[in-house]
């Protein structure tokens, strides 16, 4: 079955960087769009960035120029490099695969202090 395991979250000061990774298994990684979503307390889950099977990416306006999504098809991983972090980036970040009705990882907490 599909498994997505995130890692790399933590506490960082504003202006700092973090790199999230998602290890995927249970499906043919190269065929599917992978994405990162986030959910802050009291807010709806929102798309942060996505990468389709052809490597085309899209980003939320709020993270353009600061975050970069990348996928390593040899290792079945998708990464999110987050630079110039802001307190409003604080959220639980989830890995997602657009397969069937979609599958989610368990989430990893990112906290940005001011």
The pLDDT of residue 52 is 96
C-alpha torsion 54→29→10→108, nearest 10? 120
Give residues with Cβ within 8 angstroms of 87, minimum separation 6.
Answer: 14, 112, 113, 114
Q: Strand 77-82 and strand 67-72: pairing?
A: antiparallel
Q: Report how far residue 110's alpha carbon sits from residue 53's, in angstroms, rounded to the nearest whole number.
A: 26
With CA atoms as reference, report the closest residue to 109 among 31, 20, 48: 20
pLDDT in tens, 8-57: 999 999 999 999 999 999 999 999 999 999 999 999 999 999 999 998 99
């Amino acid at each position: 079955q599909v498994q997505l395991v995130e890692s790399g979250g933590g506490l960082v000061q504003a202006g700092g960087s973090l790199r999230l990774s998602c290890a995927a298994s249970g499906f043919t990684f190269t065929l599917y769009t992978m994405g990162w979503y986030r959910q802050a307390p009291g807010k709806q889950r929102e798309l942060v960035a996505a990468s389709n099977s052809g490597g085309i990416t899209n980003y939320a306006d709020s993270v353009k120029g600061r975050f970069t999504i990348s996928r390593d098809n040899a290792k079945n991983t998708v990464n999110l490099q987050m630079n110039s972090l802001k307190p409003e980036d604080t959220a639980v970040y989830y890995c997602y695969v657009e397969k069937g009705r979609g599958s989610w990882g368990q989430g990893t907490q990112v906290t940005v202090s001011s």
